[in-house]
Chain A
Amino acid sequence: MANIVITPPGRFAFPKITELWEAREVLYRFGARDVTLRYRQTFLGVAWVVLQPLITALIFTLVFGKVAHLSSGGLPYLVFSFVGLLAWNLFNNIVTRAQQSLVLNRDLVSKVFFPRMLVPLAVIYASLVDLAVSTAFLVVLLVIYGISPGWWVFLYPLWVLMVVTLASAVGLATSALTVRYRDVNYFVPFFLQFLLFASPIAYSVSNIHSQYRWIYDINPLVWLLQEFQWALVHQPAPPAWEIVMSIVLPIGLFVVSAMIFEQMERGFADVI
């Protein structure tokens, strides 16, 4: 049996991969707990997973499609915005739930030892379950509208992974900051609301004036949303640099975020 050595925290802390791997079951248990709890004592149960994006997509269709007459890149507005919402909800759910996770699980953080990173990361599980159910519903929509996704659909898991990585990076950093500064609770919803409208979910990128395109294109979600539409509803692929960056940036951000988290982690129990 290997000895455990406890020493004061050093200047730089790297996440202990072996420790995380040892505790991987915690991740699963937390995830399963979240899924079980979310639909316990609800009448409609899992139907909410589909109803939420569907209702939002209908509202978008009505407001942006019928009233504002924005372009949806030649697709039925409902299908277009539903695809956008798949990616958006995945991102939004992970960021929102992860950000609050440490403070909501205050008892665990201050009383039980386990790698704290697992608390914000565990929200991925429930968010992926939501995505799976919504994706299944999308298949129904595609059949109804007679849209074929094309061969690039095989890249769908990759783009899902990248959205998850990007969202986890934001979630890890904000959850750690929330432990120290509760301001984050107020800031994150505004940031997400801004991001929702700064991304091509309710409207197609073709609506953006080419003069402002470069500012618009800084947003990594713009790349990932286009990739979702590319993979799922046969839209044109985004430029190559966006494809490369949409893989490099989330991974890079995740590593930085994990280090920030690790650095702050050892003080959690004292300030939470």
Chain B
Amino acid sequence: MDSATAISVEGLSKTYRILRREDLPTTMAEAVKGKVRNSNVKKIAEEFDALHDVSFEVPFGEVVGIIGRNGAGKSTLLKVINRITAPTEGRIELAGRVGSLLEVGTGFHPELTGRENIYLNGTLLGMRRKEIAERFDDIVEFAGTEKFLDTQVKRYSTGMYIRLAFAVAAHLESEILVVDEVLAVGDSDFQAKCLRKMREVARDGRTVMVVSHQLQTVSDLCTSALYMNAGHLQFHGTVEGALEEYKRSFLHTTAAPVSTAQRPGTGELRIQEVSMPNNIVKPGDELVIEYVVGPNPGFGGRYYVSAFIANEDGMVVAQCDSRVRDFYLEPTTENMVRLAVSQPWLKPGTYSVDLFIHTGGHPADIWEQALSFQVLPISPYPFATTPDGTDHGVVFPEFDYS
């Protein structure tokens, strides 16, 4: 490891053994019984690789983003680097102290005052009493909680609590700072302050590692990124490259096409090709679906079309029936249909589109899951909040308070 390297990870693996539920000893009696009885029987344990042969190096002065879907191993990686959980294989070398913000406010005790918690939490993060005393005023100023220093933190608002917790961790002069999903909290001013602070840390030649689901944060803040998938490190390099890999991972989930003849419907008319020019979108982006309906000159009368947009749970979140727009088509020629949903405000996730051709009686064509698209985990709102502020509901409505 040369002197410019802050973090060096080699062949890191973390395997959890998951015993089947009925086999898992949770009481001592069971454990003893299990040992005595099954000493020769092979245990039925499934192994789960949370991290698999991960290697990378991070030089000083970088802000590294770690992105990937849920369960990709991002948080496990941070936990191993933080020495909270031990690796199964491999080796990590860290050139200095590690400060961590795995969950804001861990180590804060609700019954203690702000002042007492600054000292307690600072010490837990590895600061000396003198260090804390020197930075005490900076910490308080950063958090903006001067007036409440001698109030028990259980009486703090969530915002104050989190600001104080972040302030303590941010003032730790560690060579490496590890941050997990903390920027989703506090008001926009405070978020901007946090981002500034992290950039400052990197400018001082220290290293920051950030896990975030907010892709915006990663692209704003990071100088390089790791893309993780199912415990494997799949990409390490530029932020753009990692984001590209991340987006591409959603493409593989598209359902296999069903042949025209197998589809339900009378078959009087059939959809021939379907495409979605942009199937990875942000919540507020326009959705465009284009398809071609084959001709049937022998068919009399007009027809109309419809589309259902369903979420992962199979719940239809939107129906777009052409009748409500007074849109009908003639079957004598081939028709090109373009459906544009200007502001769907969909929540992040995978959606499928079912397409229908109606002639009045039984539908002529029913194409379930004709295509799928992905809404990226980016909040459409100007200000971020804790997850409980956006978790509920099936859509992100366009709203305002006045």
Let me know if B385 is at the binding interface, CB within 8 A.
no
Within 143-178 of A, Cβ neighbours of B (below 8 Å) are at 177
Segment of A209-217, A243-251, A262-270 engaged in the interface with chain B: A262-270
CB–CB A112/B106 < 8 A = yes
CB–CB B96/A1 < 8 A = yes
Set of chain A residues within 8 Å of B96, measured between Cβ atoms: 1, 3-4
CB–CB A29/B106 < 8 A = no
Interface, chain A (partner B; CB < 8 A): 1, 3-9, 23, 25-26, 28-30, 33, 36-37, 40-41, 107-108, 110-114, 177, 181-184, 266-267, 269-270
A113-B98 contact, Cβ under 8 Å, with A29-B124, A108-B107, A266-B86: yes
Set of chain B residues within 8 Å of A28, measured between Cβ atoms: 123
Give the A-B pair count, Cβ closer than 8 A: 108
Listed by A's residue number, 20 A-B pairs whose Cβ atoms lie within 8 Å are: A1-B96, A3-B95, A5-B94, A6-B86, A6-B93, A6-B94, A7-B87, A7-B91, A8-B86, A26-B124, A29-B124, A36-B116, A40-B111, A110-B84, A111-B84, A112-B82, A112-B124, A113-B83, A182-B26, A267-B86
CB–CB A113/B100 < 8 A = yes
Let me know if B43 is at the binding interface, CB within 8 A.
no
CB–CB B103/A111 < 8 A = yes
Chain B residues bordering chain A, tally (CB within 8 A) = 45
Let me know if B28 is at the binding interface, CB within 8 A.
yes
State which of B90, B111, B129 has its C-beta within 8 Å of the C-beta of A37.
B111
CB–CB B95/A1 < 8 A = yes
A49 vs chain B, min Cβ distance (A): 19
Let me know if B162 is at the binding interface, CB within 8 A.
no
Chain A contact residues: helix, strand, loop or mixed: mixed
CB–CB A25/B100 < 8 A = no
State which of A4, A25, A107, A270 has its C-beta within 8 Å of the C-beta of B98.
A4
Let me know if B16 is at the binding interface, CB within 8 A.
yes
State which of B31, B88, B92, B124 has its C-beta within 8 Å of the C-beta of A181.
B31
CB–CB B123/A25 < 8 A = yes
B286 vs chain A, min Cβ distance (A): 42
Let me know if B305 is at the binding interface, CB within 8 A.
no
Set of chain B residues within 8 Å of A9, measured between Cβ atoms: 86
CB–CB B103/A3 < 8 A = no
